[in-house]
């Protein structure tokens, strides 16, 4: 644990540890409020940003512009339909070798990566 974390950052991180999957800042705010944790939405955004910069969180931005936050635990790969918004997780990682190459060639510490393809799902192609 990073000893320089604020109380808000610690509370946000602990809440995210209890969540399976990703969550928006607004949904996180509502969950904390239901648990009687008094924290403003702006404070949650600041805590999420700090945790992201530390490498503790990963962020996925949906086609709607909404950001979803989750613990930085694994790389994610999705096929996302631009019509209905459905998102399918891809099991394989077509860029794993590229990540290793970039780490070595650019001396860049990579926390995680996301890969997302946008198009039409099978169901939306038939409509």
Put residue 18 in one of left, alpha, beta given phi > 0 → left and psi -120 to 50 → alpha: alpha
Annotated binding site: 81, 84, 113, 121, 124
CA distance 58 to 116: 14
φ/ψ of residue 58, rounded to 5: -120, 150
Annotated binding site for Fe cation: 113
Annotated binding site for Zn(2+): 81, 84, 121, 124
Instruction: Please name the fold of domain 74-127.
Output: Dna Ligase; domain 1 (3.30.1490)
Q: Cβ–Cβ contacts within 10 Å for residue 64, how many?
A: 7
Largest CA distance in the chain: 54
The ranges of the chain annotated as CATH 1.10.10.10 are 1-73
pLDDT tens, N- to C-terminus, the chain (127 residues) = 556 899 999 999 999 989 878 899 999 999 999 999 999 999 999 999 999 998 899 888 887 888 999 888 767 788 988 899 888 888 888 888 888 899 899 998 888 787 888 899 999 999 8
Mention the CATH class of domain 1-73: mainly alpha
Quote helix, strand, coil % in the chain, to nearest 5.
40, 20, 40
């Amino acid at each position: 644990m990073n000893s320089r974390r604020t109380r808000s950052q610690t509370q946000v991180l602990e809440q995210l540890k209890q969540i399976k999957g990703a969550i928006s800042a607004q949904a996180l705010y509502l969950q904390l409020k239901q648990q009687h944790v008094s924290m403003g939405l702006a404070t949650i955004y600041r805590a999420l940003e700090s945790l992201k910069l530390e490498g503790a969180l990963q962020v996925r931005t949906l086609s709607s512009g909404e950001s979803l936050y989750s613990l930085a635990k694994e790389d994610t790969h999705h096929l996302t339909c631009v019509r209905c918004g459905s998102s399918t997780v891809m099991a394989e990682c077509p860029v794993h070798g590229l990540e290793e190459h970039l780490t070595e060639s650019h001396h860049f510490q990579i926390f995680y990566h996301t890969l997302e393809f946008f198009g039409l799902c099978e169901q939306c192609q038939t409509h």
